């Protein structure tokens, strides 16, 4: 997986270039290493590549058809989940799943949000009603004070809906005593 911020400390044209360069690098790695399998989220990035480098996009489609490239993530972009309304989050999923279905013939079942700073308590219900069954993030494990006891667990939303959640643990590699992962 590669994570590319669509909106960060660079211009939109830099984001577009990063998408083309990153995806081109992955395709080259796939040529060199036939066993290599890759996953990438955010249909907006694929749309940029389709517009800016259609030959790269066609190669991606071929790798998806082979099962070596996994378009996944459910949402059109990885959004802020604290301030967005439920309607906005639903639309993210509707447009994201539609893009993956129309372009690649795939259906997203994982909400892939590695780089957001919080989550709506309504997400499990929204996910379930949109046919998204799994949740993945990383930021939860970055907390130095409030540790979660598990990396994989069922997240129960405010209405009682549960989804299987996983966060990729991390650690402080500069320290031999501070660990940022769970058991």
Q: Indicate which residue of 107, 115, 159, 172 is catalytic.
A: 115
Quote the DSSP letter at residue 139: G
Spatial separation of the C-alpha atoms in residues 107 and 132, rounded to whole Å: 9
Spatial separation of the C-alpha atoms in residues 58 and 94, rounded to whole Å: 24
Is 5 tagged catalytic?
A: no
Determine the length of the chain. 183
Q: Which residue has the tokens 């996910």?
A: 127
Residue 47 burial by Cβ neighbours in a 10 Å radius (0-12, 13-18, 19+): middle
Q: Which residues are annotated as catalytic?
A: 115
């Amino acid at each position: 997986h590669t994570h590319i911020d669509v909106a960060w400390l660079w211009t939109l044209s830099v984001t577009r270039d990063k998408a083309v360069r990153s995806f081109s690098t992955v395709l080259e790695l796939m040529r060199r290493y036939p066993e290599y399998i890759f996953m990438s989220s955010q249909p907006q990035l694929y749309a940029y590549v389709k517009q800016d480098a259609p030959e790269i996009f066609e190669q991606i489609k071929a790798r998806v058809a082979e099962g070596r490239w996994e378009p996944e993530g459910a949402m059109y972009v990885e959004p802020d989940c604290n301030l967005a309304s439920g309607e906005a989050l639903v639309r993210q999923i509707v447009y994201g799943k539609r893009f993956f279905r129309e372009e690649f013939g795939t259906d997203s079942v994982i909400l892939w949000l590695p780089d957001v700073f919080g989550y709506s308590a309504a997400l499990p219900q929204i996910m379930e009603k949109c046919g998204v069954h799994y949740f993945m993030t990383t930021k939860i494990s970055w907390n130095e004070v409030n540790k979660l006891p598990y990396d994989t667990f069922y997240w129960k939303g405010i209405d009682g809906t549960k989804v299987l959640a996983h966060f990729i643990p991390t650690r402080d590699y500069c320290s031999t005593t501070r660990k940022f992962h769970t058991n």
